[in-house]
Chain A
């Protein structure tokens, strides 16, 4: 049972724009811990098995990024040791780890984005701002699977007349592959004329277009959207007054733990936790509903 993806695309998109935008922005350790923790949690909630497969990719990436920085940057006061007279500092190591955390959490947020913003939601959202562009996208998306099928037919037909792109010399293979692409293009362009006619036949371009969608903006969407906007403002404010600022060089700034700062940290946590809260709430409500039946 997935709850978050049933919200209006605008809400989902606003969330990811806020989450990814802010995650790219904040290098404060507290903020980094919050974003990676919630990105991992949402990944587990939404993608489960797939997420654990992806670990093989994330972990090496994380360490690669963490190691590279201290080798390049030699700033910082806390020197651990020297390699070829270049200082390896604690600051540089921590900075490397922080950057790695940021990048990995952005990638993780994107994988949740890919899971929830399906192509029709994307096209719907962009249809509002840029209808022609989103229509072009939609047509393109429709054509890709069709072209793949046709590619298969063409390669079989060509195989029978000796143009097998999977055997023979490298040159022969490249030649055959491009021959197949060439056939595909002729075929595709010829058919495109029909599609264009079909658009015209259905009145495309005669007046102002409206857009149809199956998405309905409910009260709950409005509430969550307002919530996202409010928390986004709070976090931008926090950034302006300097709460989120953190220096690694020449040495670390101090992490503040007074009430004001803790409240700001909480607001960040709350913003990024919205989908998880919705998932948990949805799960509980479903169980209650079931138990009453």
Chain B
């Protein structure tokens, strides 16, 4: 039975000439798990919001939405509010109240449910989601993953039939994201809830999806089985880079037969393919890094308070001139702390940090941040104070006495020209990051530190960031980046280090590093391990296998 039907829907935002949705037609069956993908600005969030009448944007609309056999605007508001649930991108923004238990009950309070029913439903959901342990906590004390689970649970207490989720994992670390996606899978498989999920972690979600919708510039480009995407998309389509590694391999090697989606299927497929391993081709190894050390940590230990435990201990790290170093590690290993120590924002209580063989703490702040070091924070928004992109750049230029030519150069380099009059907050995540980088690099530092720059970016924006960083590296900038993103690190950095329990446990060039790890490694390596051990990214396979 169908739960949702979309008939000839078009939509245009006020003050825009082009429609964001163009004549969309769609039906959703009860119990389906649907992934909705597309580049930023393609209209996917707009479409998703239209399913939830309370959130549907203002603008010129044509066509009809049906829910449960009725026109959506004729469905009773109580029914719409409780049966259609919506989870937003940012875990923090959705939380309304200050206590976990109160947040869980918020929706039920709005629906006017009596106290006994509330108690039962809250208890039920707290159990299903494993919230009992933090049931009495303040919402501000939860981790990002817990917050997003709470948001989901506080919608589930209203017993929805249709769940709409707009990039719910983009702000989470990989482990929390996996847990969230598995919970969604459980809701779908165990409770039969219909799910429409906008997501760009396709590696994890495609294997559990029943159906995929791809939107492009307001059109529905694809609607079907996840395994059919690769054969339907035009070759060299930008979305291909976002597909699961197994599928990409299949595509790059002109595969035939059923399309693999998971690592397991990828391994099976690759083993069957019987690639010729004796072509005598060699994979490139990152080279040409200078041995000049610009920044160095020696036996550094750090804690936030006198009686707290050490977050960083025995940290030894050398940053070499002109390299692109990525520091990877799980949650709570102290990645961001390492970065703020290197940036001089925190001071170690033991050990030394040296910049050009001179103690970091002996530099004056003004000198340090004008000549040597800059840090791109996790949230670029923390840098923006002006009303337009242009003013934002001029603000920094004025403060640091930078010439207009340099500003123009940055605008060109970061392709900001079409955004100059926009408000920084109205930019997409990727654009905000470019603006932040442009702002920081106006000051011409020697070392650029980045704190999880790929968080929340889609595949296309990640590629763009990589291109920019590589170009900067070629121009002589030293780059240090902490990240959860193994794939990005393997593909683009010149050296990798693994942080665990407050210190660096291993470091090497990406090929040695990732082909040496069993679990903490890229999807491509996990697929090719045992067959072609030195493979760490998809492109390696092409080099090894393709006959030119």
Contact = CB atoms under 8 A, between A and B. Distances in A.
Interface residues of B, number: 67
A202 B440 contact: no
A209 B110 contact: yes
Nearest to A151: B382
Interface of A: 119-120, 135, 138-139, 141-142, 145-146, 149-150, 153-154, 156-164, 167, 179, 182-183, 186-187, 190-191, 194-195, 197-212, 214
A150 B381 CA distance: 11
A107 to B, nearest CB: 27
A210 B97 contact: no
B363 to A, nearest CB: 13
In the A-B complex, the 10 residue pairs with the smallest Cβ-Cβ separation, listed nearest first, are: A203-B81, A212-B105, A194-B93, A202-B107, A142-B98, A203-B110, A157-B382, A198-B94, A145-B140, A200-B54
B30 interface: no
Contact of A201 (B52, B95, B105, B370): B52
A51 B369 CA distance: 47
Nearest to A147: B140
B116 to A, nearest CB: 11
A161 B440 contact: yes
Nearest to A167: B365
Given A161-B439, A183-B385, A212 B93 contact: no
Contact of A202 (B112, B158, B345): B158
A145 B138 contact: yes
Given A142-B96, A200-B54, A160 B109 contact: no
Nearest to B135: A214
Interface stretch (B82-90, B199-207, B214-222, B315-323): B82-90
Nearest to A199: B96
Interface stretch (B187-195, B279-287, B372-380): B372-380
Contacts of B86: 198, 201
Given A138-B98, A194-B94, A204-B110, A210 B115 contact: yes
B272 interface: no
Contacts of B106: 199, 202, 204
A187 B432 CA distance: 13
B55 A197 contact: yes
B369 A161 contact: yes
19 contacts: A120-B99, A145-B138, A153-B379, A156-B375, A157-B383, A159-B345, A161-B440, A162-B370, A167-B365, A179-B385, A187-B382, A194-B88, A197-B55, A200-B55, A201-B81, A207-B110, A210-B118, A212-B101, A212-B108
Most chain A CB inside 10 Å of its own CB: which residue of B106, B110, B112: B110
Interface in B59-93: 77-78, 81-82, 85-86, 88, 90, 92-93
A158 B382 contact: yes
Nearest to B382: A157
Contacts of A182: 385
Nearest to A149: B140
Contacts of B373: 160
Given A119-B98, A212-B122, A183 B369 contact: no
Contacts of A150: 382
A182 B139 CA distance: 25
A149 B96 CA distance: 17
Contact of A206 (B81, B139, B443): B81
B314 interface: no
B399 interface: yes
B425 interface: yes
Given A142-B139, A197-B55, A212 B94 contact: no
Contacts of A183: 381-382, 384-385
B110 A142 contact: no
B440 A210 contact: no
Given A162-B399, A207-B111, A211-B109, A141 B88 contact: no
B366 interface: yes
Contacts of A179: 385
A201 B54 contact: yes
Nearest to A144: B140
Nearest to A187: B381
B400 interface: yes
Contacts of A120: 98-99, 102
Given A142-B140, A210-B118, A212-B102, A186 B425 contact: yes
A105 to B, nearest CB: 31
B177 to A, nearest CB: 19
A196 B242 CA distance: 32
A119 to B, nearest CB: 7
B78 A194 contact: no
B302 to A, nearest CB: 15
B114 interface: yes
B69 to A, nearest CB: 21
A183 B384 CA distance: 7
B233 interface: no
Contacts of B379: 153, 157
A156 B365 CA distance: 12
A200 to B, nearest CB: 4
A160 B343 contact: yes
B397 to A, nearest CB: 11
A133 B122 CA distance: 24
